[in-house]
Each structure stands twice: as structure tokens, then as C-alpha cells.
Structure 1
Amino acid sequence: MSNMTGQQQVNITCFKCGIALTLGKVTLTYLGSSFPVELYRCSQCGLVYIPEELANGKMQQVEAALEDK
């Protein structure tokens, strides 16, 4: 999976429940700030899949900006 913005269909299964993850709205929180985003999540247990590109890219930039405040 290379690009989340293209809304492409991915086949990711929840490790805990064994069902396919579906695209849905989730709220990420860091240092008291909340960010609504659309990511793949398990409809049964709520587990959210954060792709490596997002964790090492945009999320890292947001963390640095919040910590600098």
C-alpha cells in the first residue's frame, strides 16, 4: 500500500479478530491535541492500522510541531 489518499482498496486483516479492516473515521490524540483522520480499522474491536509511511512521515512532523510549542 503506497498511497492512502487515493482511497484504494487494501486487504488487511485484524490480527485479533481475523476480519478485514474497513476504512473509517478515527481520532488520533497526541499531547492533548486531537486529529480526525480516515484510516483502516477493525469494525469489531476498533484496532486501527497506521501505515508505516504515515507513522514515519506526517505523524512524525505533527509530533515535532506539537513538541516545539
Structure 2
Amino acid sequence: MMISLEEAQQWACDACGKPLVMREVVFLYLNGTFHVDLPACSECDFVFINEELATGKMAEVEGILEDK
């Protein structure tokens, strides 16, 4: 499940303490480019990827791309 804007605003960056905002993040993998809106730090641009996204959707896409 993706994180909502309201949920992202409740989080702060562990590295610098600044609030998270929703940003378009670009993933590059096996010649594929993916644009996804994810919570990121408003100061240092660290991106928050929750466990469900990392082990679910991202793992699924990784498997599909590797099978090609």
C-alpha cells in the first residue's frame, strides 16, 4: 500500500529531522525507468520506502523485469 500525503506529513527524516513531503522519485532498474510519488525528506531528499512497497510491489516488478 502506498503512503498517503497525510501519513507522510506525520513522519520526519531520521537523518536530519525535517518533515517528509511527497515527491516524484525516479527508479532506474534493468534499463527501465519508473516514476513514483513517495515520501522524501524536504531537506536532504532521503526517500522513505515502507516494507510493504519494498517486499511487495517493487519485488514483483523486479521479478518481471528479470524474467524478460
Same structural fold, with TM-score higher than 0.5 when normalized by the shorter chain = yes
For normalisation by structure 1, the TM-score amounts to 0.84
Q: 1:55 offset after TM fit, Å?
A: 0.6
Unaligned residue ranges in structure 2 (runs of 5+): none
2:5–2:21 Cα contact (<8 Å) kept: no
Quote the residue 2:2 is aligned against: 4
State the 4+ residue runs in structure 1 displaced beyond 6 angstroms.
none
Please, which runs of 5 or more residues in structure 1 have no aligned partner? none
Q: Distance in 1 between matches of 2:48 and 2:31?
A: 21
What's the TM-score once normalised by structure 2's chain length?
0.85
Q: Per residue, is there more helix in 1 or in 2? A: 2
Cα 1:21–1:8, aligned 2, differ >3 Å: closer, same or farther? closer
State, as a whole percentage, how many aligned pairs show the same letter.
44
Q: How many residues align?
A: 66
Helix, strand or coil for the counterpart of 1:47? coil
Question: What residue number does 1:51 align with?
Answer: 50
